[in-house]
Structure 1
């Protein structure tokens, strides 16, 4: 079983693939991910490019009513795929691959991806924060936020 940090890295990889698909960053990121999975094997790299293209196609083809489900399915698939590769390596190779993946994801984040520090959460989409049964929920927001039901506009505003 992989250490928790590597599982988190695989989850971040899955999220990054889905978030990058169809964006300006996709072409370069897609190539880097395929190269990471290929591990020097041109045939495997080519197969990964096809798999990445299938993800992009699935995300683009999803209707509005299915987009979230397709996105989650693709993130889960890629997380599992990253985990499977890492689990198939010996300890030394796994450490090297994890470091390479961390670097790849860090470069992607610097080029417009989403990232967070240790203990944080970052999202390129909506995040819901709620507290139940007397617990406390907290969030730091950088950008706009909508909380609860929006206020009704003044009649003079139309």
Structure 2
């Protein structure tokens, strides 16, 4: 399996852990992630829920700046843990574990579970941002982007 594919899977996993923490889906997701990390090792499977609970606790803050830092930190941490877990497996085991993790995410993290903060826009399709006159248009892109040619200005009206 391509390194890029595994990195994308680990990134999706890190995001999923952070998004699921404290939600109604947390208990089932938490247990599924613990089983996946354990991969038959009962000791490890029992230790993972504690790590997951530490993540949930770290994300519970009312200060927006702290919450954002905690979210980013926890996403990065879980991404690294998932990548490390996959890297320590041989080729066939790695492919199987990646498929199992992909299935875990599909089962526990619905695609529609996407949120934007105040003033944000989330889209599963194209979004066009334009500036009129002397306005400034800006956007933050999380994912792929296609930038087309700048349209010609309208001719001056006389």
What TM-score, normalized to structure 1?
0.71
* CA displacement 1:78-111 (0-9 Å, x = unmatched): 000000000000001100000000000011233x
The 1:23–1:69 alpha-carbon spacing in structure 2 relative to 1, beyond 3 Å, is same
**Cα distance between partner residues in 1 of 2:79 and 2:46:** 19
The 1:62–1:21 alpha-carbon spacing in structure 2 relative to 1, beyond 3 Å, is same
* CA displacement 1:132-154 (0-9 Å, x = unmatched): xxxxxx528xxxxxxx7xxxxxx
**Cα distance between partner residues in 1 of 2:2 and 2:85:** 11
**Cα distance between partner residues in 2 of 1:2 and 1:61:** 37
Aligned equivalent of 2:149:
none
* 1:128 shift after superposition: 6.7
What TM-score, normalized to structure 2?
0.71
Residue 19 (structure 1) aligned with residue 19 (structure 2): yes
Aligned equivalent of 1:69:
69
**Cα distance between partner residues in 1 of 2:98 and 2:79:** 13
Aligned equivalent of 1:7:
7
* CA displacement 1:15-71 (0-9 Å, x = unmatched): 000000000000000000010000011110111111001000100146333101100
Q: After TM superposition, what 4+ stretches of structure 1 lie above 6 angstroms from structure 2?
A: none
| 5+ residue gaps, structure 1 | 115-122, 130-137, 141-147, 149-158
Aligned equivalent of 1:152:
none
Alignment of 1:6-155 (within 5 A): 6-61=6-61, 63-110=63-110, 114=113, 123-126=114-117, 138-139=126-127
* Maintained 8 Å contact 1:38/1:45: yes
Larger mean CA deviation between 35-44 and 56-65 belongs to: 56-65
| 5+ residue gaps, structure 2 | 129-136, 138-158
- Structure showing greater Rg: 2
Aligned equivalent of 2:144:
none
